[in-house]
Amino acid sequence: MRKLIRSYTFRTVVQGLITIWAVMTFTFFLIRLMPGNPAQIKIDEYVDRYGMSEDQARQQVATLFNYDPDQPVFEQYVDYLSDLVRFDLGRSLTSTETPVAEQILRFLPWTLFSVGLALLVAFSLGVLVGLAMAYWRGGLLDNVMTVFASVIYAIPDYIIALLLIMVAGVQLKLIPVGELYGGSTQGIEPGFTVEYILDLLKHAFLPVFTYVLATIGGWMLTMKSSTISTLGEDYITVARARGLPERRLLTAYVGRNAMLPLMTRLAISIGFVVGGSAIIETLFLYPGLGRNLVLAIGLRDYTTMQGIFLVIAISVVVSNILADLLYGWLDPRVRLGGDKGTE
Partner 1 sequence: MADGSVVLSVEDISITYTTQRGIVQAVSNVSFDLHAGETLALIGESGCGKSTIVLGLIGLLPKTGKITTGKVTYRRRDGRLIDVLGLNKEQMRQFLWNECSMVFQGALNSLNPVLKISSMIYDTARAHGMRADEAKKRALSLFEKVRLDPLRVFNSYPHELSGGMRQRVLLATALLLRPQVVIMDEPTTAVDILTQRSIIKVLKQLREELNFSVIFISHDLAVAAEIADTVATMYAGEIIEKGPVSEVFYRPRHAYTLGLLEAAPRLSTGAEELMSIPGSPPDLIDPPKGCKFHMRCRFVTDECKTTKPPLQASSPT
Partner 2 sequence: MSTAQRAPLVELKHVDRFFRKGNATLKVLQDINLNVYPNEILCLVGESGCGKTTTGKIIAGLLNHSGGEVNVQGRPLASYSDRREKAHLRRTFQIVHQDPFASLNPSHTIAKILSFPLLRHKMVKNRTELAARLLELLELVDLTPPQDILNKYPHQLSGGQRQRVSIARALTVQPKLIVADEAVSMVDVSIRIGILKMLLRLKEELDIAIVFITHDLALAKYFAWQGRIAVMYLGRIVEIGRTPDVIGNPAHPYTRALLAAVPEADPDVTRAKEEMPLRSEDIPGLLNIPHGCAFHPRCPFFVPGLCDAEVPKLAVARGFNQEAACAPLELGLPLTTYAG
Which positions lie near partner 2, rule CB under 8 A? 6, 340-343
Residue 97 or 343: which CB sits closer to partner 2?
343
The one of partner 1, partner 2, none whose footprint includes residue 11, by CB under 5 to 8 A per kind, is none
- DSSP annotation of 186 reads T
The one of partner 2, partner 1, none whose footprint includes residue 2, by CB under 5 to 8 A per kind, is none
Helices (H), 33-187: 38-50, 54-64, 73-84, 100-135, 140-154, 157-163, 177-180
Minimum separation from the CB atom of position 43 to partner 2 (A) = 58
- DSSP annotation of 343 reads -
The one of partner 1, partner 2, none whose footprint includes residue 245, by CB under 5 to 8 A per kind, is partner 1
Residues contacting residue 42 through CB under 8 Å, at least 6 positions apart: 57, 61, 64, 65, 94, 299
Query: How far apart (Å, rounded) are the C-alpha atoms in residues 13 and 180?
Result: 42
CB atoms within 10 A of CB 206: 23
Minimum separation from the CB atom of position 141 to partner 1 (A) = 17
Residue 33 or 336: which CB sits closer to partner 2?
336
Residue 4 or 172: which CB sits closer to partner 2?
4
Residue 11 or 333: which CB sits closer to partner 1?
333
Minimum separation from the CB atom of position 342 to partner 2 (A) = 4
Task: Give DSSP secondary structure letters for 184-232.
Answer: S-TTSPPSS-HHHHHHHHHHHHHHHHHHHHHHHHHHHHHHHHHHHHHHT
Handedness of CA 127, 129, 135, 137 (dihedral sign): negative
Residue 178 or 341: which CB sits closer to partner 1?
341
Positions in the binding site for partner 1 (CB under 8 A): 233-235, 237-245, 248, 252-253, 256-257, 260, 330-333, 338-343
Minimum separation from the CB atom of position 332 to partner 2 (A) = 18
CB atoms within 10 A of CB 22: 11
Residue 134 or 316: which CB sits closer to partner 1?
134
Provide the angle, in degrees to the nearest 10, between the axes of the packed helices 263-273 and 194-231: 160
Query: How far apart (Å, rounded) are the C-alpha atoms in residues 81 and 306?
Result: 11
Minimum separation from the CB atom of position 255 to partner 1 (A) = 10
Minimum separation from the CB atom of position 249 to partner 1 (A) = 9
279 three-state secondary structure:
helix
